[in-house]
Amino acid sequence: MPPDELPPGPSLFATFDFIRNPFRFLDTCASRYGDWFTVRVPGVAPFVFTSDPAAVREIFLGDPDALHAGEANRPLGAFMGERSSLFLDGSEHLRQRRLLLPAFHGEQVASHADAMRNAADNAIASWPRGQRFRIHPQMRAITFETIIRAVFGFENDSTGAELRASLKKLFALYTSRLGTLFSLPAMQIDAGRWSPWGRAVRLTRQIDSILYAEFARRRKEGVEGRADILSMLLSARYEDGQPLPDNVIRDEMYTLMLAGHETTAATMAWVINRLVTNPEVMERARAEVFSALNGRLLDASHVGKLKYLEAAINETMRLDPVVPNIGRGLKKPMTIAGVQLPSGVTIAPCIYLVHRRRELWPNPAQFNPDRFLESRQSPYTFFPFGGGSRRCLGAAFATYQMKIVIAEILSRVELKKVDGYEPHAIRRGIAFAPSDGLPVNCD
């Protein structure tokens, strides 16, 4: 099928709405074109979106040598580096993924419970009582601190302080309106230290210098007894006994910083939005938290008891996915769910639209966490973390952190909706977050 015979789709002008209001854009496309539509962006291969669950299943179970996720993800990684597992394909991806998996094992994730709770407590203590404030920046502060401690293993020493300062500047640039355009090659021009890309290049050089020095220090001193993810990667070995090269570890750390930090923060902001707009759900979740804690400090032993809170998080990710689609670059012509597609296009299973199909989700626009208590969901109809061999490595880490942070919020403060505020999704870095930072009232 030649490119002009791809499924119909919006004009280039209409496609700009994907940046301004992505959920509205996707709803409009689904209403106008149905289960399949093509989105074209200058300089990149056409994206063929699909919300057909049969297509999602075929893609997740398909040949990874013919369906390149790494290639499709490449526009997301302006700063993450070529050696990130996010951008690798085939055997190379699987080889690196196997080395990363132990860092995200259940017991390993649980070892970070105290760091996650402390980051939440420190932020909550600073919130203004009886006043309105924006919750999304607070969620970003919490996930940022968790990354510094649980992922990097830095404390409040001079190296940690230097890394914090540089990362905060990079995050601010990455999540700005200009940062959303850094995936376009035309924006990746270093026109000096005051240009947007020039600032980004110089910040990454500063961060690289800190990281490489820390890699060398830990390799020399040893990492025995350390539970942070960086130390685990430094001690990991390929099948032939060789360690991960420093540039590979560097790229994986940037992926955790930029992708993991922003997506988790945005999801928690959406969860807060759903709770404050559904007080009965909030109170049920709060009661579960108090019952689980029974007057004690939240720790790893309580997290598994928060079933309803986890259901509320899942229902939020169904309705408000922070990454609305995934992608696979076709390396050969393929027929997927009866639709013929040529080599070179990117097939894009649409998380947002599949999560709102009426035949899959009764009353799909209704926020109802009980859906996730009543039955187990199919990985082809609920996939906020992607699926198949490319399912997000950090899914368990992110979900665990969200349960701890939201539980701490519910146990310590009462948040309320701001009258007249109705959020819409806007892009912040790799994630789609609530507009205006999601203002809330705090008591």
Predicted local confidence at residue 73, as pLDDT: 84
Predicted local confidence at residue 413, as pLDDT: 96
Tens digits of residue pLDDT in 9-19:
999 888 888 87
Tens digits of residue pLDDT in 23-71:
999 999 999 999 999 999 887 889 999 999 999 999 999 999 999 998 8
Predicted local confidence at residue 258, as pLDDT: 77
The Cα 60–Cα 347 span in angstroms is 11
Predicted local confidence at residue 285, as pLDDT: 98
Find the CATH number of the domain harbouring 331: 1.10.630.10
Q: Nearest-CA neighbor of 308 among 288, 322, 331?
A: 288
Predicted local confidence at residue 367, as pLDDT: 98
- SS3 string of 262-305? HHHHHHHHHHHHHHHCCHHHHHHHHHHHHHHHCCCCCCHHHHCC
Report helix, strand or coil for 79: coil
Domain that holds residue 280: 3-153+226-420
The Cα 433–Cα 417 span in angstroms is 17
Predicted local confidence at residue 338, as pLDDT: 95
Show the low-confidence residues of the chain (pLDDT under 50).
Answer: 1-3
The residue to which tokens 């930072």 are assigned: 437
Instruction: Evaluate whether residue 202 is within a structural domain.
Output: no
Predicted local confidence at residue 190, as pLDDT: 59
73 within 8 A of 57, measured Cβ to Cβ: no
Instruction: Evaluate whether residue 46 is within a structural domain.
Output: yes
Q: How many alpha carbons lie under 13 Å from residue 81 in its C-beta half-sphere?
A: 19
Instruction: Evaluate whether residue 119 is within a structural domain.
Output: yes
Instruction: Evaluate whether residue 161 is within a structural domain.
Output: no
The residues that bridge with 350 in the sheet, in sequence order, are: 325
Q: Using alpha carbons only, what angle is made at residue 221 by residues 232 and 243, rounded to the nearest 5 degrees?
A: 45
Instruction: Evaluate whether residue 198 is within a structural domain.
Output: no
Instruction: Evaluate whether residue 171 is within a structural domain.
Output: no
Query: What is the overall mean pLDDT for the chain?
Result: 90
The residue to which tokens 């830990």 are assigned: 218
Mind giving me the DSSP string for 168-223? HHHHHHHTSTTGGGTTSGGG-----TTSHHHHHHHHHHHHHHHHHHHHHHHHHH--
The Cα 424–Cα 434 span in angstroms is 6
Instruction: Evaluate whether residue 219 is within a structural domain.
Output: no
Tally the domains of the chain: 1
Instruction: Evaluate whether residue 183 is within a structural domain.
Output: no
Q: Nearest-CA neighbor of 398 among 102, 81, 147, 60?
A: 147
The Cα 23–Cα 282 span in angstroms is 25
The Cα 103–Cα 83 span in angstroms is 18
84 within 8 A of 92, measured Cβ to Cβ: no
Predicted local confidence at residue 154, as pLDDT: 84
Parallel/antiparallel/unpaired status of strands 47-50 and 346-349: parallel
Predicted local confidence at residue 439, as pLDDT: 97
341 within 8 A of 334, measured Cβ to Cβ: yes
